[in-house]
Structure 1
Amino acid sequence: MTLGKNIQKIRKEAHLSQESFAEMLHVSRQTISNWENSKSYPDLETIVKISDSFHISLDILLKEDLVMVKTFDSEVKSTRKYAKALTIIASAFALLVGSFVIYSCVYFHTKSKLEGNFAEQLQENDFYKNRDGYYSMNYADGVVYSVPNQSMPGLLDFTLNFHLSNLYCDMELEDTYVEIMWRDSHEFSASAITKKDNKVVGSTSGFTESDFADAKKLGEELGVSEEKMSEIIEKGNELYEDFYGKQ
């Protein structure tokens, strides 16, 4: 017996007209007629509703209707594939949201730690804000250390460090200015520039790694005594660690 005939049998045994049956299933009377004459089939949801409403198993309802069984099977498989796809998408979304929440917690913790330490070092080392917006410290006569006005990049920049982790030292000598810049712990570059015509008269651009550890060679290149050069570099390394060592 086809599904259409089964639907007709169910309707008649329940003493329902096509109109009443259609109203119950929220379809038109013509739709019921088409089902019963096998001109069309109800969708999967409606078949399940008929099965539940009249307490008839799907096996009995679909028995012998091979076309509908194949259609029903196809719809079930499609539904399962769709459900599986939704599950995968939902899992991926949940993982993404969870990862972002964890990253946000780490970011705000790091921001608080780094910016707090930066503010603390400014105060402990008596740095003041200069006209260029940097913070400076007068270390000795003619020797000034400076750092940028630091703040963490925004949350969506996805970085857990300051963009610019530099320390500067400017030394004013009799005829020249000496500029030293730290880019990392114990890693710096330096140059000596004449006051008269801004000519570079000394530079570490050609130095090897071992040369940077030689205070005498550094001093000779920049026109600074070995003792003073050693003191300036040691203080710079110390300040760099104080400001950026916790990154």
Structure 2
Amino acid sequence: MEFGDKIKDLRLKNQLTQEKFAIRLNVTRQAVSNWENNRNLPDLELLILISSIFHISLDELILGGNNVNNMTEKLIKDTSKTRRAKLNMITTLIGAFLLLFGCACLFIKANSVEYIDASGILHENFYLLPIGFLFIFSGLVVFLVTGIQFIIEGIRTRKEGK
């Protein structure tokens, strides 16, 4: 059973018009009409409100039985997009941290004092150069991979939309 049919069935079982159903949910009658005609879907907060007002489980409301309907597909797709966005944000932050740390290493190396002590030993923090370049290279790789993934997902989304 499609989500729109489920909403219409729920409304009719409770002997409500679209107007009265909308008033109980604090939405417009047009919103209810769009839900029933599968033109639009309510957000998660409204689903929870419908579930509590009409004493129906979210499973029954969203799934409407054993078949996956358009509401379930929308929730799965939204969750997937949110997870992907969080992953992109985390990798971008990691890349930025690596770049900043690499630049900090090079800055410290450039501004540090090199000296020879009384016993003739050179004191220099040479190790900061390869570490700094390694962190900068790693940060750039993270940005590059994240950017390529973002572009591929955009192309895939456009193809699905067509």
- Structure-2-length-normalised TM-score: 0.50
Give the number of the structure whose residues are more often strand, by fraction: 1
Give the number of the structure whose residues are more often helix, by fraction: 2
Query: Which fold has the larger relative contact order, with Cα–Cα distance below 8 Å and residues 6 or more apart in sequence?
Result: 2
- Structure-1-length-normalised TM-score: 0.35
